Amino acid sequence: MEGMKKNLFPACLWLALFICAGCGATLDSSRYAYIPGQRVSNDMQPLPASVAITYLEDARKKERNENVELIYLPLMPYASSHYGQPEAEEKFAIKDLQPSRDFAHALMQEMKQNNLFKDVSLVKPGESRKADFIVTGRINKASVDTAITSYGLSLFGIVPWAFGLPEGRLYNNLDVHYEMRRACDNTVVWKCHVKGEWNRIFGFYYNYSHDEPYTGMNILLSNGLNSGLSALAEDIRRKPQEYWKQ
């Protein structure tokens, strides 16, 4: 009986370590949602014009390079993975990211929040909608990369995780183009290029489960759209009304 108790304690300890180490890598069930940034202007008078934003073209390649199992090799300090279309991966599917739809919807949210036009709507593939301005776009990159740390301890690399040391680092890369044209003559009146890289350490002291794997995409998208719409708002103030009505 005494020997059984001695064996049971280490077994329970290891089970607790495995459970704790896995806590940071468990995604919650909430779906992806874009969070608009700050308003670019509080005194905009909306143009008496309508804008139709089409779903964006997805020009990404389906690149996938997953090497998580390498952390079990002796003396391996970390293992990196790359997902060119992360939404297609089963591990991220619960977040329901659809870049063509969601990045177009993000622009619609920002335009409405900033009161730039009297009407802004989203156009699904196959739909037709009359509007004064048409926004199209292209997604060149919206990727997720991870680097899982094992501290060169191979299988036992999970032990430092259980004591609060970082589990690794996560990267988001974004490259999205938006373009708005006058419907009457197809003239380009506004362009916005959202491009950047974001990364952050994750572990016990960073809430991996609630805002990964797409937190960085939200931040990059918000910052890029804020900059682009600031320029558009300035153009609306500066250029004569006739320019927007041609």
pLDDT attached to residue 200: 87
- Could you confirm whether domain 2-28+43-245 is CATH 3.40.50? yes
Neighbouring C-beta atoms of residue 177, cutoff 10 Å: 17
pLDDT in tens, 171-200: 999 999 999 999 989 999 999 999 999 998
pLDDT attached to residue 157: 73
Contact call for residues 222 and 35 (beta carbons, < 8 A): yes
Average pLDDT of span 136-145 = 96
Lowest mean pLDDT among 113-127, 152-166, 229-243: 152-166
Residue 159: C-alpha distances to residues 20, 22, 27, 178 (Å): 9, 11, 21, 46
pTM of the full structure: 0.82
* Residue 141 CA to its chain's centroid (Å): 11
- Domain boundaries defined on the chain: 2-28+43-245
pLDDT in tens, 79-135: 889 999 999 988 888 889 999 999 999 999 999 999 999 999 999 888 878 899 999
Average pLDDT of span 53-70 = 90
pLDDT attached to residue 246: 62
Whole-angstrom Cα distance, residue 197 to residue 219? 10
